[in-house]
Amino acid sequence: MHLTKAQEHCLQGEMGEPMAWAMGKLVRLGDECGSSRLVPVRSAHIPDWDVSSRRDRILSLAVDGLAVSCSLNPGRPLIDDEFLPPGLMNVRSCAPYLCGHNVSRDSIVAWGGRAACAFVNSGLGARSELESYDDSLAAAISGLTPERGLHRDEGRKATVAVVIDTPGIDLGALGAGISATLSGEVPQICGLRAGLGDFKKLSFAINSRGDMPLFHITAQQNVPNDLEAFYASEIVAEPDGREDADLLILGCPHLSEQEVNRWARALSDRGVGIMTWFFISSLCSDKSPKTGEILRCRGMIGIDRCPLSLKDEMNGKKVACTSPGLVGCLKSSGIDAFLVTDDDALGMMLGKV
295-322 pLDDT tens trace: 999 999 999 889 998 999 999 999 999 9
pTM: 0.90
The yes-or-no verdict on residue 52 having pLDDT over 60 is no
Whole-number pLDDT of residue 64: 67
| Cβ-based neighbours of 153, under 8 Å, separated by 6 or more | none
Identity of the residue numbered 97:
Y
Over range 260-272, report the average pLDDT.
Answer: 90
Q: pLDDT of 11-40, one tens digit each?
A: 999 998 889 999 999 999 999 999 999 999
Q: What is the DSSP letter of 214?
A: -
Could you give all domains of the chain from N- to C-terminal order, each with its CATH number? 5-152 (3.30.499), 157-235 (no CATH), 247-349 (3.40.50)
Higher pLDDT, 239 or 159: 159
Specify the pLDDT at position 60. 62
What percent of the chain shows pLDDT beyond 70?
Answer: 90
Q: Is the pLDDT of residue 185 over 60?
A: yes
Distance between CA 321 and CA 237 in Å, rounded? 14
Instruction: Name the phi and psi angles at 250, rounded to 5.
Output: -125, 140
d(CA 275, CA 166): 32
Q: Could you give phi then psi for residue 138, rounded to 5 degrees?
A: -65, -40
How confident is residue 247, by pLDDT bands cut at 50, 70 and 90?
very high
Residue 78, Cβ density class (10 Å: 0-12 exposed, 13-18 middle, ≥19 buried):
middle
pLDDT of residue 108: 97
Residue 17 has a pLDDT of: 87
Using 50, 70 and 90 to split pLDDT, how confident is the model at 55? low
Q: Is 229 helix (H, G, I), strand (E, B) or coil?
A: strand
User: Is it the case that residue 51 has pLDDT exceeding 80?
Assistant: no
Q: For residue range 68-120, what is the model confidence (pLDDT) as tens digits?
A: 988 888 865 455 555 555 555 567 889 988 877 878 999 999 999 999 999 99
CA of 332: how far to CAs of 37, 126, 189, 328, 335, in Å? 38, 31, 29, 6, 7
**What is the average pLDDT score of the chain?**
89
Mean pLDDT of 337-353: 88
pLDDT at 61: 67
Where residue 164 falls among pLDDT bands split at 50, 70, 90? very high
pLDDT score at 30: 97
The two beta strands, 144-146 and 38-40, are: antiparallel
pLDDT above 90: residue 2: yes
